[in-house]
Structures are given as C-alpha cells and as structure tokens.
Structure 1
Amino acid sequence: MRICIDARSLRDTPTALGRYARVLVEHIAKLDRENEYIIVRRPSSHGPIAQQANFREISLPHDISSVQNILWGARTINALKADIYHSLFHFLPTGVRAGSVVISLHDFIWVDHPALADGRRWRAMVKGSLGSLGIRRAIDHSDHIIAVSESTRQVATDAHGVASDKITTVYHGVAPEWRTGFEQPETPLPEALRDRRFIFSLGNSLPYKNLPRLLQAFAEIADSAPDLTLVFAGRGEGKQHLMQMARSLGVADRIHFAGQLSDGEIRACFQHALFFAFPSLIEGFGLPVLEAMASGCPVLTSNCSSLAEIAGEHAVLVDPQASASIAAGMQRLLTDPELRQQLAGRGQHRAANFTWQASAEQTLQVYHHLSTVT
C-alpha cells in the first residue's frame, strides 16, 4: 500500500499535537517496513522523522488548518495516488482523493465551545465558524475517524451523529524519556526555579486552559503557604492579563512565568514540583497529564472530558468551573505529603498503560481494515 500521512501539525516549537505527529510516525516506521509511506510536512529545520527506505517526505508550505490548504491543498495530495491518506489533524483539503481517507479527531472545542478557543470575541466567532465548518467537512468526507480518547469518540457519536463503526479510539502514548529511571542526560531545572517550592502549570493561555481560575484558586490558598510559587510555562500571549490579575489578588510576587520550555526542562519541572496543576475546562486528550504522571509528579486535574478518563483515580480531580474546588484540591496536595507520594506511584503505574507502540499498532490496524474493505 501507499500511505500518505499528513503531519503538518508538527512544528519546530514543541506542542502536544506536534508530539503526537512526530512520535506516532516514528513508531509506525519501527513496525512497518513493507508499505510505502509519504509524510507531508511543513518546511522544517529538523531532519526527517523516519529515515528508512520505505519512508519519504514532501514539504508543503501551508498549515493543515489554513484556508489555503483547505481550498487548494488537495492537488499535491491527489497526485500521490495514495491508497490511504491520513490527516493527523481534523481538517482535510477540499477534494482530497485516496483509496481511503482517515482523520485523527482531537476535540470539538471549535465546534461546541468556540468562545473557549480564543479570548477575543470577534476572532472566536470567525475562527469558530471556519473551524466548525472545517471539522464537520472532514468528518463527512472521511472514510474512518481515529478519536484520541473515548470522551472525544462519545461526543462524535452522541452529539454529532458519527456512526459508531466509522470511529475508533486510539489513545496517545508516553515516550520512554518521560518515565523515571530512563537513562538520559539530566536537564537542569531552569535557574529561576532552583531553591523554590512550586506548583507547575503548563499550556497555552487560551480560555479553555482555565488559567485565570487556577490563579484565583492559588490566591485563595496562598496565605497558608507563604513560600510557595505558582509557575506558568508555555507560550506567553496571556501573560499580561494574568499578571494584572495577580496584582489585583495580591500574589504578583508569587507568580513566575517560565516561558516556552524544552522537553528536558519540562521533565525537570515535573520532577521538582510539589504537583502539576492542569484544570482545563475541556481537552481532547490531555497529554501533559500523562507525561507528568510518568515523571512521578502528582497531578491535579479536571473531573470532566478526557481528563477524568485519562487520570481517573490516579489524580486529585476538581471541578474546573469553581475556583473553590480547585483551591480545595490544591490544599489537599499541599498539606498531605503521603497523598502526594501515593499519587506519584499510582500515576506512574497508570502512565505505563499508554505507549506509543500501542498507538502505532492500533493505527496500523485501522489502515489494514480499510485496505480489506475498499
């Protein structure tokens, strides 16, 4: 078979979507040396994802979710005459053709909750309309859908009418380097965090990440732990708003913005933090939760969407809509070192159930099934 995997969600800067694209392709390459693979990428300063003989890469300039790709991106894809075309993001070029078309469906945030996807109302309205249209088109024009969580699969079937036999759940995995005990050069903790007791938070500043409510919760428990710092890591578009809010809450000197960190620095933060706080309002999967667990870091996360599914009883679950609930969960973890130790161990066992090899094997099973029915 000739299989085209569209991995344009992979960027030079680290993101969860990019990690999914890169690591999934790497593991498919380890498992399949027979079928021909063409990997579509954006221009990159990094080398090929897979270098074996049955893999080659082509470069296309436009992002997979861009208007240019949706309107005109099919020409190059169609010329490949692929037996299977798999978009690792939930958008498709208009008129894309292959023996079978597959999309990876991550979430319905743009469809069901556009206001949570962008804090600027006009952008949320415009991008929400376009994003919703793009996702619905991709669902309608695909032959099979890979959902990254059971939560996403259920929303697709229950709320959006996707036939249950058209969609398969394939979980993300955790790479070995996130697991404690993995032999690798140790990355030092960012200098500004050495000698600090801190709670670690990671992610962009879009509304669904719920950072203002996390900050409010931190302010509610700050007096009980005067030496504690709340660390925000990730792209810093919302830094100014959060700092203004921190000043109004009287905790500006207790907040640290770490910026964009390397994977090694993130691992170091997981290993030194008191716990990882990830109270998103909605997630399609929540890979940082698993990576924190694998690193032996206790986790506080939300009791909804895929986060409750992935973390289960191996984390402190809170109501992300209520700062009081988040604050209570934080207080539990701060005052109970035995609980932190228990969650660190249980989280590692939980994370061990998620491997990228299993993700790749199950993705290949989808390809094989499609090859037998077309």
Structure 2
Amino acid sequence: MKIAYDAKRFFHNTSGLGNYSRDLVRILSEYFPENEYLLLNKNKSERGQEIVERSNVNFIESSKGKFSRQFKMGKDAQMQNADIFHGLSGELPLKWDKTPIKKVVTIHDLIFMRYPQYYSFFDRKIHFWKFKKAAETADEIIAISEQTKKDIIHYLKVPETKIEVIYQGCHHAFKEIQSEEFVQNTKEKFNLPERFTLNVGTIEERKNLLNIMKAIDKTDIPLVVVGRKTKYFKKIKGFILKNKMEKQVHFLEGVSMQELAAIYKLADIFVYTSLFEGFGIPVIEALFSKTVVITSNTSCLPEAGGNDSVYVDPKNYLDLQSKIKFLWNSESERKRRADKGFEFVQKFNDKPIANELMNFYQKLL
C-alpha cells in the first residue's frame, strides 16, 4: 500500500497539528513497515527528520507556485501512484485527475463554529468553506474524538456512516522512563518549586488560565505554566500584579519535549480547564506521566481523562479551587487516581492506534 500525506504541518508546525502528523506517520511506518509513506510538500525542514530517514518514508517535493497545495498536490500524489491521499489537518486538495485514489481527511475540531468570538469573520468563513469542501470530497473522515464526530455531523451536515473516530496519542517522550538525574536537572534548570500544580497549553482565552489563577489566589499553592503567550497574556499579567502573585506563578519558555515530560512527572497536579477542545492532548501527556488530572467536564475532555480524573465546571473557579485543595492535601488520593489514570491511558498507546488506522485504510481500499 502506498499512502500520500499533505505534509505541510508535519514539517512546519511545532504543536498540535504538527505533532499529530508526525506521530501518525511515525507509528504507521514502525508497525506496518511493508507500506510506503509519502510526505508531500514544497519543502522540508529538520522537524521529523528521524522519521523521514526511515526506508519506507519518502519526502516528495510537490509542485511549486501559489495555491499549489490546493490545485496541484492531489495530482502530485496520483502521479506517484498513491492508493490513498490523507489530509491530516482538515483540508484536501481541490483538483484531481482521473487516476483512482481514495481520499481521507482528519478533522480535529470545529471550534471556530462553537466559539466564533475567538476568530475573525474572514477566518471563520475560510475555515468553514475548507472543512465543508474537504468533508464532501473525502471518501471517509477521521474524527479525533466522539465530540468532534458530533460536531462534524451537526455543523457540516455529514452522514454518521462517513465518519470514524480514531483517537490520537502523544509524543513518545511522555511514555519514556527518564533518569532521576535528568528529572532533577530539569527541576534545577527551571528553578521549579518543591511542589506545584501545572498547566500546559497556549495562553489564550479559550484555555481559561485566568480561572486557574482565581482558584489558587489567596492560597500558597504554586502554579507552573508552559505555553506560548498571546495578547490574552496581558489580562493574566494584570491579575497577577493586582493580586501580588508574582512569586506564586511561574511561566516557562524554551522547554524541550523531554524537559516537558520531566516537568509533568514533577508536578503534583495537572490542571487543564479549557472551555472546549477537539481532544486535549495535554491530559493524555499528564496521565502517561502518572500525574493526577483536574480538567473540564465539557467537550471531549472526559474522553481523554477517563473515570479517575477529576472534573470541574471550567467557569466555576470556586469548584476548581476546592478540587485543587482536596488533591493538594491528599497524597494517597493523588496516587490512587494517577495509578488508575495510567491504566486507562494505555488505550492511547502507539500500537492500538496504529492498528486502528491501518484497519481503516484497508477497509477504505
């Protein structure tokens, strides 16, 4: 089988969509080495280089020019005699020739429909048109959660029979056993508190960091935040200064994936009260790290967190505050829930996900 991928995000995205793209190709090429995996893009980068160097993974330089991804990449895949073309980030090429090829698209979320206030009018229209067109063009659609599947049916008017839910995993760094020395060096490098709660994710309004700040205000519980800052950070900074929390809240930058994995392990509690997610990879990362999770009772987050994470109304900071205090003061409860969460999260390991993806491709053909 020869599978072609739109590899723009694989090579040029550092976070969610890029991680999904790299992990998907990595696990398929590892567990199903008999197939050929083609990465189509105008250029490549050092990102994912260890995957590209595998004998069954090939970078294919796609046609150059403006809008070539939309109008030429599909035909490029057909010229390579690919059996399947997989758009990994909600898009598919618009032009194809008559050569047979099956078309698949992964849709991660439709947040721009649920929370339009976070997007410009122009962006909403463009996103909707691209996703709607891709859903119509695709022979089959992969949704990364049951929540996303429901949204595809509701907003894009796609029949349920055309959609399959296949969960994603997370970077292998979070599943590795790191040396005590490396973990300790990471703690010292970032000058981390002896005990702390942790939040990971882009610092934007939808991720709801302000309510976490309100929950720990007037407590002695430190918070470590790892994430890219947006203009929303001004609101966070203002709250910190007003409430004299400068020594309580620590923002980290320049954190490698291995260091982030160590920071998850060092944390007493992981707090992730996003208002809405397509899946919520940080929850999976925390569970693999054997760190107890407090997350929102909305969208797909209970799918990611399982029965033994702690759930809160993300808009109710007093609810969050009581749950943080409870876990902070109960080591036995933290350990019990972390151990149960670690058992649950094994379903998001590489091998079961790779098997689901390959079964999906084989059924498609």
TM-score where L is the length of structure 1: 0.86
SS at match of 1:357: helix
Letter in 1 for 2:104: V
SS at match of 2:95: coil
Contact 2:265-2:290 within 8 A present in 1 as well: yes
Matched, 1:131 2:114: no
Please show how residues 241-320 of structure 1 align to structure 2 within 5 Å.
Answer: 241-320=235-314
Query: Which residue is 1:39 aligned to?
Result: 39
Supply the distance in 1 between the matched residues of 2:273 and 2:194 (Cα, whole angstroms). 22
Supply the distance in 2 between the matched residues of 1:269 and 1:31 (Cα, whole angstroms). 29
Contact 1:175-1:356 within 8 A present in 2 as well: no
Supply the distance in 1 between the matched residues of 2:67 and 2:225 (Cα, whole angstroms). 32
Q: Deviations for 1:270-309, whole angstroms, at most 9, x for unmatched residues?
A: 1111211111111111111111111111111110111012
* Candidates 204, 211, 219, aligned match of 1:224: 219
Q: 1:78 to 1:206 in 2, by over 3 A?
A: farther
Please show how residues 100-249 of structure 1 align to structure 2 within 5 Å.
Answer: 100-116=102-118, 118=119, 124-174=120-170, 177-179=173-175, 181=177, 186-187=182-183, 188-190=185-187, 191-219=189-217, 223-225=218-220, 228-237=221-230, 238-249=232-243
Q: 1:260 to 1:12 in 2, by over 3 A?
A: farther
Supply the distance in 1 between the matched residues of 2:170 and 2:85 (Cα, whole angstroms). 25
Where in structure 2 are there 5+ consecutive unaligned residues? none
* Candidates 324, 327, 335, aligned match of 1:333: 327
SS at match of 1:224: coil
Q: 1:242 to 1:11 in 2, by over 3 A?
A: farther
Supply the distance in 1 between the matched residues of 2:301 and 2:275 (Cα, whole angstroms). 9
Where in structure 1 are there 5+ consecutive unaligned residues? 119-123
Supply the distance in 1 between the matched residues of 2:109 and 2:86 (Cα, whole angstroms). 17
User: What RMSD, in angstroms, separates the aligned Cα atoms of the two structures?
Assistant: 2.6
Q: 1:338 to 1:331 in 2, by over 3 A?
A: same
SS at match of 1:253: coil
Worse-matched range after superposition: 71-80 or 285-294: 71-80
TM-score where L is the length of structure 2: 0.88
Deviation at 1:52, TM superposition (A): 4.0
Supply the distance in 2 between the matched residues of 1:320 and 1:334 (Cα, whole angstroms). 19
Query: Which residue is 1:121 aligned to?
Result: none
Supply the distance in 2 between the matched residues of 1:99 and 1:256 (Cα, whole angstroms). 50
Contact 1:303-1:319 within 8 A present in 2 as well: yes
Q: Deviations for 1:197-248, whole angstroms, at most 9, x for unmatched residues?
A: 22111111232211222222222xxx232xx321111112243332122212
Deviation at 1:180, TM superposition (A): 6.5
* Candidates 57, 60, 67, aligned match of 1:58: 60
Query: Which residue is 2:364 aligned to?
Result: 370
Contact 1:43-1:60 within 8 A present in 2 as well: no
SS at match of 2:261: helix
Letter in 2 for 1:342: R
SS at match of 1:9: helix
- Percentage of identical aligned residues: 26
Letter in 2 for 1:216: K
Deviation at 1:324, TM superposition (A): 2.2
Q: 1:178 to 1:209 in 2, by over 3 A?
A: same
Supply the distance in 2 between the matched residues of 1:61 and 1:273 (Cα, whole angstroms). 47
Count of aligned positions: 357
Worse-matched range after superposition: 75-84 or 237-246: 75-84
Q: Deviations for 1:77-126, whole angstroms, at most 9, x for unmatched residues?
A: 4543422100111112222466111011111112332324x5xxxxx322
Supply the distance in 2 between the matched residues of 1:13 and 1:252 (Cα, whole angstroms). 32
Q: 1:216 to 1:132 in 2, by over 3 A?
A: farther
Deviation at 1:343, TM superposition (A): 1.5
